[in-house]
């Protein structure tokens, strides 16, 4: 539950909220969750912080209706400086403006009153998504098979190999666990989101075979996807 971090790096949140009670509560909760926070109570001081500290920030949390200026301005300013997610806190009556907020580049918004848990899960979701998009194209190499995760393409000797959706998913699971032995059940669960109760155990075997046919030079003497008898399958190393 407690991990305001992505890939181990602690996330730094700029929080701008004029109601001091709400602000304090929020700050406390965020810090409990291992986020680090910078708190401002008005638009003016927020701007100053933005000027100085924008490099260190990872996400902004703005009250939409601040006493000395709308949160829109702040949002615009942020997006000019650095491409990080912005979430708006809004009162119910502000709702009309939400679309406008999103046009401005906001990434999510949440209406007061809100449950703190909900907010935090939204924060995490936005951060996750963001990292996905900014992610550079990862290339995974498995014994000469190259996987381009961003485009979802797979190459062997510079020739693209066409995989079906499921074959690709299976391959990705192996790619993300290079060198580990994966049991049939582990694989079944990961592919079908369900324990092996619903899906035939043999189905997996068939997919392994199909993958091997497409990837291996000699499918009968597999080099890439190796079977570990009695335990499961293994890829790499």
Partner DNA sequence: CAGAATCATTTCACAATGCGAACAATTTAT
Partner DNA sequence: ATAAATTGTTCGCATTGTGAAATGATTCTG
Q: State the residues that interact with DNA by CB under 7 A.
A: 162, 164-167, 184, 192, 198-200, 202-203, 205-206, 208-209, 212, 219-220, 222, 227-232
Give dist(CA 173, CA 175) in Å, integer.
Answer: 5
Return the one option of DNA, a copy of itself, none that residue 150 interacts with (CB less than 5 to 8 A, by type): a copy of itself
Write the burial class of residue 6 (CB in 10 Å: 0-12 exposed, 13-18 middle, 19+ buried): middle
Write the burial class of residue 76 (CB in 10 Å: 0-12 exposed, 13-18 middle, 19+ buried): middle
Joined together, the tokens standing for residue 132 give: 């996905």
φ/ψ of 58, rounded to 5, equals -120, -20
Return the one option of a copy of itself, DNA, none that residue 197 interacts with (CB less than 5 to 8 A, by type): none
Q: What mask, x for binding a copy of itself by CB under 8 A, covers residues 151 to 190?
A: xxx-x-xx------x--xx---------------------
Q: How far is the CB of 228 from DNA (least distance, A)?
A: 7
Q: Single out the segment in contact with a copy of itself by CB under 8 A; choices: 21-29, 50-58, 147-155, 205-213.
A: 147-155
95 binds a copy of itself (CB under 8 A): yes
Q: How far is the CB of 31 from a copy of itself (least distance, A)?
A: 25
Q: For residues 169 and 210, which CB has a smaller minimum distance to a copy of itself in the complex?
A: 169
Quickly list DSSP for 74-99: HHHHHHHH----EEEEE-GGGGGGHH
Return the one option of DNA, a copy of itself, none that residue 200 interacts with (CB less than 5 to 8 A, by type): DNA
Q: Single out the segment in contact with a copy of itself by CB under 8 A; choices: 12-20, 50-58, 70-78, 215-223.
A: 215-223
SS3 43: helix
Joined together, the tokens standing for residue 211 give: 């993958």
129 binds a copy of itself (CB under 8 A): yes
Joined together, the tokens standing for residue 16 give: 């701008």
- Which residues contact a copy of itself (rule: CB under 8 A)? 95-96, 98-99, 102-103, 105-109, 122, 125, 129, 133, 136-137, 139, 141, 144, 146, 148, 150-153, 155, 157-158, 165, 168-169, 218, 220-221
């Amino acid at each position: 539950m407690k991990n305001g971090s992505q890939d181990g790096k602690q996330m730094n949140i700029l929080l701008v909220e004029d109601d001091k009670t709400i602000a304090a509560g929020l700050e406390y909760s965020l810090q409990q969750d291992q986020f680090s926070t910078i708190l401002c109570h008005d638009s003016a001081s927020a701007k100053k912080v933005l000027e100085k500290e924008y490099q260190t920030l990872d996400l902004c949390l703005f009250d939409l209706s601040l006493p000395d200026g709308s949160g829109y301005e702040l949002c615009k300013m942020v997006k000019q400086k650095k491409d990080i997610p912005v979430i708006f806190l809004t009162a119910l009556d502000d709702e009309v403006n939400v679309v406008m907020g999103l046009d401005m580049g906001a990434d999510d918004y949440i209406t007061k009153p809100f449950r703190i848990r909900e907010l935090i899960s939204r924060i995490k979701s936005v951060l996750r998504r963001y990292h996905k998009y900014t992610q550079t194209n990862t290339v995974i190499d498995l014994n000469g098979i190259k996987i381009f995760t961003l485009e979802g393409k797979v190459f062997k000797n510079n020739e693209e190999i066409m995989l079906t959706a499921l074959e690709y998913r299976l391959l990705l699971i192996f790619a993300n666990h290079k060198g580990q032995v994966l049991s049939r059940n582990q694989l079944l669960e990961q592919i079908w989101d369900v324990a092996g109760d619903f899906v035939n155990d043999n189905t997996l075997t068939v997919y392994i075979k199909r993958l091997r046919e497409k990837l291996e030079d000699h499918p009968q003497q597999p080099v890439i996807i190796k079977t570990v008898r009695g335990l499961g399958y293994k890829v790499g190393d």
